[in-house]
């Protein structure tokens, strides 16, 4: 039986590429929005989901921080994809013909130099690959797309300029979502645990809640705060730490965190991607 993995975007998007990299041979399910992708996984129309959570240049993907905690889904893995954008135009177009360029807001923000160099009008679309499809449909030589090369192949566009991202270290981290958490004993490899929490309304609550990670020698790789339901007083924290909840030191740290928090929800414990070793070496 063919397995299905969902992603947000249209065929040719970076999320599509990530799906093919990690799960070659699986059927991909493109979704118009993150909310639709989450629903596809939760309802069983897809076995897994490949969801971007942060980019090295653009920062966090804000929608995910709001959808994930209440989705009931679990993180079972992560993947780091180097991001490359190409300037795509209709067949026969030249850069001198261009007047405007279309893409996702993050792609436009990551390719500012080429947009400025050629004096192009940047127009935001819902998706990188979707902008390539639209440019192909318009058939207008003055309009271009910023998208992965796969989108050029799918929609029959010419690559007018390659690797136009502002920085060559541009990279997106994806999380792999499932209806069920990873089962079985703890794998004998570096692990990550992701969770969200809200502290109690007492003095120094955040300081005390996080103190257990320091005293128990748990390395925290991410700590982000964001408002809940648009309320300034309601702040939730998203955290990545090294280790597994079954590890004695992390178990003690989580116990201390729970004491000073209103809620603690573990979103997943999963193997760290090998790319993290490069990050640790500064390469």
Catalytic residues: 172, 174
User: Cα-Cα-Cα-Cα dihedral of 272, 273, 278, 280, to 10°?
Assistant: -10
C-beta neighbour count of 43 within 10 angstroms:
9
| Torsion over CA: 84, 276, 76, 212 (sign) | negative
Residue 71 to residue 80: CA distance in whole angstroms:
23
Give the CA dihedral 126, 162, 30, 82, nearest 10 degrees: -100
Residue tagged 């639709």 (tokens): 36
**Strand extents, DSSP E, 64-157:** 74-82, 86-89, 100-104, 121-125, 143-147
The strand ranges marked E within the chain are 4-8, 27-31, 48-55, 59-60, 74-82, 86-89, 100-104, 121-125, 143-147, 158-161, 171-178, 191-199, 220-228, 231-242, 261-271
Longest dimension (CA), the chain: 65
């Amino acid at each position: 039986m063919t397995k299905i993995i969902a992603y947000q975007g249209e065929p040719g998007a970076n999320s599509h590429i990530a799906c093919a990299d990690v799960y070659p041979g699986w059927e991909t399910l493109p979704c118009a929005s993150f909310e639709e992708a989450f629903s596809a996984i939760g309802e069983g129309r897809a076995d897994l989901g490949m969801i971007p959570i942060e980019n090295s240049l653009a920062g966090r993907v804000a929608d995910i921080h709001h959808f994930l905690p209440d989705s009931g889904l679990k993180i079972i893995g992560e993947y780091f994809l180097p991001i490359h954008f190409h300037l795509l135009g209709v067949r026969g177009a030249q850069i001198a013909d261009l007047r405007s360029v279309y893409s996702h807001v993050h792609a436009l923000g990551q390719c500012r130099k080429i947009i400025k160099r050629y004096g192009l009008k940047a127009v935001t679309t819902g998706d990188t690959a979707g902008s390539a499809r639209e440019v192909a449909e318009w058939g207008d030589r003055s309009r271009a797309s910023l998208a992965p090369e796969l989108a050029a192949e799918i929609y029959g566009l010419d690559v007018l300029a390659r690797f136009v991202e502002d920085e060559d270290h541009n990279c997106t981290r994806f999380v792999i979502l499932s209806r069920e958490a990873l089962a079985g004993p703890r794998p004998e490899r570096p692990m990550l645990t992701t969770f969200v929490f809200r502290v109690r309304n007492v003095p120094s609550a955040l300081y005390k809640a996080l103190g257990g990670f320091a005293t128990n020698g748990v390395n925290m790789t991410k700590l982000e705060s964001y408002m809940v339901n648009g309320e300034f007083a309601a702040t939730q924290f998203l955290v990545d730490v090294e280790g597994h909840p079954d590890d004695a030191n992390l178990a003690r740290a989580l116990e201390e965190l729970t004491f000073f928090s209103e809620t603690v929800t573990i979103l997943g414990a999963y193997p760290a991607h090998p790319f993290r070793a490069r990050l640790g070496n500064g390469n």
